[in-house]
Structure 1
Amino acid sequence: MITTAVTALVLTPVVDLDGLTAITLQVRFAPVSGGTTCKAWVQTSLDQGQTWADIFCAAFTTAAGFKIVNLSGLTPRTTVLTPTDASLADDTAEDGVLGDRLRLKITSAGTFGSGSVLSARVACR
């Protein structure tokens, strides 16, 4: 639940995803009232969690909604990816890089009403 403003709140990573080749992500936001913005960055790590890189940023305001993206670790990257940590642009994704773990980092502004929820689901292949 998201009720007070949070900055770079990190949730427990999902680990042991060796061999991950693709993911479909859904981030859902259901605010009750109040608040201003809420952002969730899905991140991956290639070095057992020592460093993290944004692969998807879902940005929300005061309206309920959800964002879905499909990413592949098999997509060739012809340019170097400069990893970002909670600074990937709103509603964008980085395809072609999937490590052996995923986590969610959340930042929100304002005070959302009791019962406001941000959730994320992932289908791994």
Structure 2
Amino acid sequence: MTGSEPHNPENVRQYWCYSAGEWSTLADPLPAMESRSFDDMLKAAGFEMWTVAGEVYKVPLTLAVYTRTQEPCFLFDLEGSLTSHQFYARTLPDALVLLNQLVPTVQAAAVTDQIAHVDSESQSVLTDLLNILRVRSRDI
């Protein structure tokens, strides 16, 4: 997968869709709307927020997942610091497979970014957090 819009000689917007372990392309389910926001397009297509990873903190990578009853049932919005990519999962099992693959990357990017920006004032908070995690891992 190289981006959200695969090459299409007819210039029809095509997006990646994950289904039953395979990637294929489909025409963009979001309606083209002049001067409308991404949120307006989501609403018009029947999508609602389902879950978000990485939104709480300012992190280099976030993942928002939207759902609807019509297939493809899930829209993934993977956002980096400069651009975002949208792609779809046909069903709940497909969405769960993608979440299992993507969320660890989003979490690792968030943790790495937070550690890289630790300053002397917040270092004791980070040390306390790491100690709590260490103790919890021993209790498991």
Structure 2 length-normalised TM = 0.24
Bigger Rg, which one: 2
Structure 1 length-normalised TM = 0.26
- Larger RCO, structures 1/2 (Cα 8 Å, 6+ apart): 1
